[in-house]
């Protein structure tokens, strides 16, 4: 049994960068779901706004996470601008423009 465990190659784990991109796309999609139900759009945005702010602060460390969290919260609360993909923009800024510095 131990021999099998030693001889089996370990499956690579997706990088933090890739995981955050997938989560960012997912969370931006969740944020845009309110457009599917026009009557309840603003009510759902009231619920999603603080959640998205907390998720942004949790996912992205440092100043960028805090600024993105505040922006994401406000962006979800203000009508007609909650289509902005804040999570994906934050990921792009963090990993493409800044090269992931401070996220390791």
pLDDT at position 95 over 70: yes
- CB–CB of 63/51 below 8 Å? no
- Which residues form the domain of 77? 17-97
Asked, for residue 38, whether it belongs to a domain, the answer is yes
Q: Is the pLDDT of residue 103 over 90?
A: no
The number of folded domains in the chain is 1
Contact between 23 and 87 under an 8 Å Cβ cutoff? The reply is yes
Position 99 scores a pLDDT of 86
CB 69 within 8 A of CB 86: no
Tokens of 6: 């030693």
Quick check: 5 pLDDT over 80? Answer: no
**Is residue 41 situated within a structural domain?**
yes
Quote the pLDDT of residue 69.
Answer: 95
Asked whether residue 93 is assigned to any structural domain, the reply reads yes
- The conformational region for residue 47 under phi > 0 = left, psi -120 to 50 = alpha, else beta, is alpha
3 is a domain residue: no
pLDDT above 90 covers a percentage of the chain that reads 49
DSSP 61-93: -HHHHHHHHHHHHHHHHSTT-TTS-HHHHHHHI
| Whether residue 1 has pLDDT greater than 90 | no
Q: How far apart are the first and last CA of the chain?
A: 35
Which tokens hold the place of 104? Answer: 């390791």
- Per-residue pLDDT reduced to its tens digit, 21-63: 999 999 999 888 877 877 777 788 888 999 999 999 999 989 9
The whole-model pTM stands at 0.79
Q: Does residue 7 sit within a domain?
A: no
Neighbours of 104 (CB within 10 A): 7
């Amino acid at each position: 049994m131990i021999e099998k465990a030693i001889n089996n190659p370990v499956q690579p784990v997706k990088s933090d960068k890739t995981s955050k991109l997938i989560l960012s796309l997912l969370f931006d999609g969740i944020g845009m779901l309110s457009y599917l139900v026009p009557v309840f759009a603003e009510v759902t945005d009231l619920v999603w706004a603080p959640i998205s702010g907390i998720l942004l602060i949790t996912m992205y460390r440092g100043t960028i996470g805090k600024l993105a969290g505040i922006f994401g919260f406000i962006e979800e609360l203000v009508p007609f601008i909650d289509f902005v993909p804040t999570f994906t923009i934050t990921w792009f800024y963090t990993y493409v423009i800044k090269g992931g510095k401070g996220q390791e």
